[in-house]
Structures are given as C-alpha cells and as structure tokens.
Structure 1
C-alpha cells in the first residue's frame, strides 16, 4: 500500500505536474463569474511558478544539500565483502521489448561496477531492483542488470540479483534477506548522490551495519552551481522534480518509521 500511495501522491506533488494542474484549475475557475478573480490568481501563480522553477537556480538550491550530504569515500576501504547497487538506472518499460536494456540518466550506478569489481575481486556484487513504476513494465531491473553485467564481463558466480523490490525500503529488506550480512562485514552502497541520504537512513533502519556510502550520478558540480540558472525550462523543472521527490521521500520514510532519521548524516 505504501508503494502505491507514494506513487500516486508524487504524481500530484511533483512540481511540474502541480503547477500545470494549478494552471488548469485556474482556467476552469475563469469560466464562472464568482471564481474569476481566484482563477486569474491561480493562472498567474502557475505561470510565475513554472518560470521560476524552470529558469532560476531554485532546483540547484534544493538539490545541493542532498548531493553534498555524503561525500565519496576517501580513502576507499581496504576490504569489501559486497557491492550493493540500487535500482533506478534501468527503464523497465522499454527494456523488455528492445534488443538491449534501456539505461536512464542514473546510469552511473551501473557503469561504476566494473571498476569496483576489479578493485575488490572477492566482493559479491548485488543489484537490487524490481519494477518501480505503476504501469507499463515489460521486465524487471534485475533481468536487465543481468544482461548488462554479462556484457561487462563480470563472473556470473559473483553476481546476485534481487528482483522483488519496488522502492528503497524493499531494497534494504530484500537485500538483507538475500545477503544475510554478518557483524564486521563491509558493504559498499552504490546509488545516486541525491538519493544517498534516504538510502542510508532506510538501510540503517532495516538493521544494516558496516555500510560505506558510494555516491555516484551527481547532477551538480558543487557549490559553484548553487546560483546557476537554466537556459531551458524543461531542464530546471526536471532537476527540481528529482530533488523534491527526494525531500518528500525523506519526510515520508521518517514519518512511517522506515528511516533512522529525518535527514540522515554520515
């Protein structure tokens, strides 16, 4: 139920969708004399919101605290027992009907695996991800990841695929059941930098210890992008949607008892 409620809520709460819905509501209000003033206000607010969200640095301002929360491990651990790669880098709608799996803009979650596999030749490699969208799935992320890892030349005996999970909480629980981690073991957790705070909070709450965050897929260069705007409204809106999704996720997971903290820290 949590999965479906979260998807439906964000369908409306996503900034780009919300602002368009606000504009449509305003246009409807203009049809009636009693609500025309309210309609004009709604349309004006929506247009202004779309311009600010799309062109201004707002998306970077909202995103940076997420990306800066967990830094890249330096130095890397001398020994790692497993490398956990969270889903989100594969389009499960397209992948099942095309000759090769379709990779999303979060593809770095996958492309770092060969290097990590060479660095830690004894580590198990786990990909955790099933079907994370409500409609149109034609495959699971695990099925696509298996093909991608085979293309990387990874030894199939080292690879474990978890294909049941649909969200971060299920990633943590299903992967824990699969690996049965022991005290003293070390695992790299690979996911997008913006998603790392939520992922670490959820994995900690699920009972994981010995996790080393390994963020990838940065969307900003750092502080120098804080006041950098966008030259296309679609770019700003896309980045803001991603950032707001993570902030909403942090609050929702904390309130539902699925995260160890509201804004998990290193």
Structure 2
C-alpha cells in the first residue's frame, strides 16, 4: 500500500507537474468574473516561479548536499566480495523491444559496475531491480542488465539476480535475503551519488553493511554549482529528481525504514551493527 500511495501522491507533488497544474488552475479561476484579478495574478506568480526554478541553480544547491554526503570510493587494497548494482539505469521495456540496452541519464551505474567487475574478478555481482509499476507489472530490470553483462563477456556464474524489488527499501530487503552477508565481507554499493544517502540508510536498516560507491554525479561542485541552466526543462528535471530524493529521505525515516534522517559515512557501521528488520 505504501508503494502505491507514494507513487500516486508524488505524481501530483512533482514540482514540474505541480507548477503546471497551478498555472492551469489559476487560468481557470480567472474565468470567474469575481476572481479574475486573483486568478491572473496567481498565474503570473506561478509562471515566474516556473521560469526561475527552471533556469536558476536552485535544484543544484539542493542536490549538492546529497552528492557530497559520501566521498568517492578509494581503493585501499582490501578485497571486495561483492558488487551491488541498484536498478534505475535503463528502461527495461525499451531494452527488450529494441533488442539492445536502453540506458538513461544514470547510465554510469552500469558503466562503473562493468569497470568494477573487471577490477575485482572474484567479486559476485548482485543486480537488484524489479519491474513493478503502479498500474501493472513491467519488465524486470535485473535480468535485462544481466543479459547485457553476459553479452560483453562477464561470467554469468557471478550474477545474483534480485528482480522483485520496486523501491529502494525493497532493494535492500530482498538483496539481504538473497546474499545473507557474512561478517567481514565487503560489498560495494553502486548507485547515483544523489541517491546514496537513502540507499545506505535502508541497507543499514536491514543489517547489510555496504561500502558506498557513488556514481552519476549531476553537480560539478564549487563555482560550477552557480551556473544557470541552458533551458527551463533542464532545471525542472533536476528539481524533480532532487525534490523526490529529499522527500524520500523524510518519508523513509518517518516510516521507520531508516535509522537516521540523513545517513552519513560515520553512521553506517554502527547503524548496520544494530539494524533490525
């Protein structure tokens, strides 16, 4: 139930959808003679807000703290037992219909996992991602990615396929059930940098200690974060992504799916040690 409610609620709360709905609603209100001034005024405010949020680096400022929460992975020479790839980097349905991988803007999750698979040839590769949608079952993502990895020469005997999950919380829960991680094992968690805090939080909660391997950075850091967007759609797209992630952190914490509101590197080991399902 949580899954369906959250997906439907977020459709209407997505900033770009909300702003457009507000503009349309304002114009409808303006059709009422007595409320014409109020409606037109509200439409102007909503339009200006849409332009400003789309062009100014507001979304970048909101995303930067998420991406900078966990440092980039540095190989310290310690063995790696497994690599966890979280879904969200491809469109599984398009990949199947086209007969080739259809990656999206999070393609670095796939690319870096391939690199890690070659760097750590003994490591198992857990591919986590189902295909459930709000209105029915979609194509499971994990098997599609596994087939792609196999096609480029990665040994399928290394794969662990988790194709039931529809959310980040389920990624962690079902992955732990499949792997049953042992004390001392080291598993690299590959996901987008802006998604890493929530991902680490839910893996800690279910008692699966992971080493963050953030990829798919959307912000450049420093002065690069001051740049305005080239188009309104670019800024609104980033705003939609980052707003959903911050909302996800709050929602997961309130729902008891994470031990802390904003997971941090120093909190991961202790949280994992006291985690419970």
Partner of 1:61: 61
Partners in 1 of 2:2 and 2:222 — Cα distance? 35
Mapped contact 2:84–2:126 kept (Cα < 8 A) = yes
Structure 1 gap ranges (5+): none
Partner of 1:146: 146
- Aligned counterparts, 1:12-31, within 5 A: 12-31=12-31
Partner of 1:52: 52
Structure 2 gap ranges (5+): 266-277
For each residue in 1:194-220, what CA deviation from the matched residue of structure 2 results, as whole angstroms up to 9, or x when unmatched?
A: 0001101111111112x1000000111
For each residue in 1:165-205, what CA deviation from the matched residue of structure 2 results, as whole angstroms up to 9, or x when unmatched?
A: 00100000000000000111111000000000110111111
Moved more, 166-175 or 254-263: 254-263
Mapped contact 1:66–1:195 kept (Cα < 8 A) = yes
Partner of 1:255: 254
Mapped contact 2:132–2:138 kept (Cα < 8 A) = no
Partners in 2 of 1:77 and 1:84 — Cα distance? 19
Partner of 1:193: 193
Partner of 2:214: 215
Partners in 2 of 1:152 and 1:217 — Cα distance? 22
Partners in 2 of 1:161 and 1:58 — Cα distance? 38
1:163 aligns with 2:163: yes
What's the TM-score, normalizing by structure 1? 0.95
Partners in 1 of 2:26 and 2:2 — Cα distance? 31
1:91 aligns with 2:91: yes
For each residue in 1:97-142, what CA deviation from the matched residue of structure 2 results, as whole angstroms up to 9, or x when unmatched?
A: 2211311111111111222112212110010000154357652101
Mapped contact 2:30–2:36 kept (Cα < 8 A) = yes
Partners in 2 of 1:133 and 1:25 — Cα distance? 28
1:235 is displaced (CA, Å) by 0.7
Partners in 1 of 2:22 and 2:167 — Cα distance? 28
Partner of 1:178: 178
1:265 is displaced (CA, Å) by 0.7
For each residue in 1:2-33, what CA deviation from the matched residue of structure 2 results, as whole angstroms up to 9, or x when unmatched?
A: 11111111111111111000001101101112
Mapped contact 1:129–1:141 kept (Cα < 8 A) = yes
1:77 is displaced (CA, Å) by 5.1
Partner of 2:275: none
Mapped contact 2:132–2:139 kept (Cα < 8 A) = no
Cα RMSD (Å) = 1.5
Partners in 2 of 1:136 and 1:217 — Cα distance? 29
1:151 is displaced (CA, Å) by 2.2
Moved more, 93-102 or 217-226: 93-102
Mapped contact 1:87–1:127 kept (Cα < 8 A) = yes
Partners in 2 of 1:195 and 1:29 — Cα distance? 39
1:76 is displaced (CA, Å) by 4.0
Aligned length: 265
Mapped contact 1:95–1:139 kept (Cα < 8 A) = no
Partners in 1 of 2:93 and 2:247 — Cα distance? 24
- Aligned counterparts, 1:96-115, within 5 A: 96-115=96-115
Partner of 1:240: 239
SS across alignment from 1:226: helix
Partners in 1 of 2:23 and 2:46 — Cα distance? 5
